[in-house]
Structure 1
């Protein structure tokens, strides 16, 4: 069994953290541990309590119960000590629409008492370049697309070196190329020693970029740990590629395979949880029945498979 990280190696820790709004429990008894140096994915459908949790961690709202420590200090009591070491993009950036992107960043930087004014313009220029907004830096923020505003908010979080970067849905509004660029940037920041706490409802985003993850649903924490371990105990789906999908589905159903789905010459299904058939015997049964098998095997379980196994329901990415 994997040992939990020592306190010095944890940048975020909550115990029994809860938030209630007018009788509704938005976050329910959250025990979270984020290892230092990780890219930690905070995963759950929209409305699962992710943003409420982040707002408590950043000292923006007080918890109803429980406690939170960020960089070893209690929040919200130590907010003035902690926040200068944290970059954050929560619920989209707050921007002055009448100012250019560059002037918005200059305002952000000027509000930081630790920022050296002599190097302010150089910092702003470097942040714009890092998120791909150098060419648009002179354009007024009200003319920015949603994706450009997200990039500018991320640039604001990167004006100073940070021990911890907290990103709430950072790829919201970005096109596929922009999403890839932000993921690449997150990896670069982690390689430089910044711990990244990334909230998302996109399963593939977490799998592609994160080293660790926690899964939330309906305000409760379902599981947490290294991404590779979260789905390790979940059975992957059986997949058969064949030009005879109807016959293949019939044979598989006869051997106890359930949840069969056919699409574009590919049949997938779930093996029985108890006494599953041997895969070699199943393949032989398909061939004996005259099914032309082009590919056959059990796919690696994904985070989506793990989520379904934990909750018994699908992951509603539309929220």
Structure 2
């Protein structure tokens, strides 16, 4: 697939010497839901601001929809919907009137169909019933939804979302994820920045992992997870005995949490059936036994040696 976003050696160094983004080479395939993953402070938002032409890179290049940014801002941005660092809203206006203002500022927007576009955008993000409420009375999650509605006023080739589920309750998160999937099914490429591993794994087809301004890895989500080892899992009320016996059998990284004992999966020379038999023979009541496939969290920990917020 052709790349909708492509960067080569993209670098941003701020005054004082702070290196926010370090020689980033990124490729976002057309039609993908691309997760841009990393802890807070990893350089995600700075990268997005360079991609959108909001700040100049110190070095390197960024191409969006075939145009070099920031030089091609005027031709590229009409085809891009974006929600970056939270929406900018007029608190004294209603949600509906905020969208009318956004739509009026778009020179390509037909004023004759403005009311229909605004109503459709509000409905898509679940704010139709709160359309007449002043934005200053909106919760953080409602403001996020309104910002997303602004990005959806026109059909877009590319949608760039920076932490789109910030402030949303679990139901709101599920609704936004469903919306992202629907947009991708309609042919929109979605570039989604998040520090939530679970969010990326549930909704994204491709992902890139950032840490301390540098790109660690990128590719299809399934491939990223496949590059990490899974984990051995034993479900038992006898966690102490199970942990001891697993260590005696040479299992490394044994950890106990409630009635779940985990460890690194044994090598190909170890018969899992014999390992299970050793547990049972040692008096451990085994309620579940097996090797779980690796998750995106496992891949991130393998890459960096650390984890971060994995709540969904």
TM-score category (smaller protein): over 0.9
Alignment size in residue pairs:
310
Contact 1:307 1:315 in 2 (8 A): no
Q: Which runs of 5+ in 1 are unaligned?
A: none
1:157 is matched with 151
Aligned to 1:238: 232
Query: Out of 307, 312, 315, which is 2:305 matched to?
Result: 312
Equivalent residue number for residue 288 of structure 1: 281
Which SS does the other structure have where 1:258 is aligned?
Answer: coil
The unaligned stretches of length 5 or more in structure 2 are none
TM-score normalized by structure 1?
A: 0.95
Alpha-carbon deviations, 1:212-240, whole Å to 9, x = none? Answer: 00000000000000000001121111100
Q: CA deviation at 1:43?
A: 0.4
Partner of 1:193: 187
How far is the alpha carbon of 1:275 from its aligned partner? 6.9
For 1:316 and 1:158, how far apart are their aligned partners in 2?
Answer: 28
**Offset at residue 276 of structure 1 (A):** 6.2
2:4 matched residue in structure 1: 11
Q: Structure 1 segments of 4 or more deviating over 4 A?
A: none
Q: Per-residue deviation at 1:57?
A: 0.2
Report the TM-score, using the length of structure 2 for normalisation. 0.97
Is 1:249 matched with 2:243? yes
- Residue by residue, what CA displacement relative to the aligned partner does 1:264-288 show, whole Å, maximum 9, x if unpaired? 321111236x676332221121122
Distance 2:269 2:298 in 1: 18
1:259 CA displacement: 2.4
Shift of 1:312: 1.4
- Is residue 198–residue 310 contact of structure 2 (8 Å, CA) maintained in 1? no
SS of 2:54's partner is: coil
The 8 Å contact of residues 256 and 271 in structure 1, kept in 2 or not, is answered as no
- 2:223 is aligned to 229
> Equivalent of 2:134, from 137, 140, 145?
140
Displacement after TM superposition at 1:296 (Å): 0.5
1:53 is aligned to 2:47: yes
Counterpart CA distance in 1 for 2:160 and 2:307 is 27
The residue aligned with 2:22 is: 28
Tell me the CA shift for residue 245 of structure 1: 1.1
Paired residues of 1:260 and 1:269 also in contact (CA < 8 A): yes
Q: Secondary structure, in 3 states, of the residue corresponding to 2:173?
A: helix
Whole-angstrom CA distance in 2 between matches of 1:233 and 1:151: 35
SS in 2 for 1:246: helix
Residue in 2 that maps onto 1:297: 290
Structure 2 residue 109 is matched with structure 1 residue 125: no
Deviation, 1:256, is: 2.1
Deviation by residue 1:72-104 (Cα, 9 ceiling, x = unmatched): 110000000000000000000000001111000
Distance 1:16 1:27, change over 3 A: same
Corresponding position of 1:219: 213
Distance across 2 between alignment mates of 1:162 and 1:47: 28
Q: Distance in 2 between matches of 1:276 and 1:62?
A: 54
Distance 1:160 1:316 in 2: 33
CA contact (8 A) 2:82 2:161 kept: yes
Task: Map 1:90-129; keep pairs closer than 5 Å.
Answer: 90-129=84-123
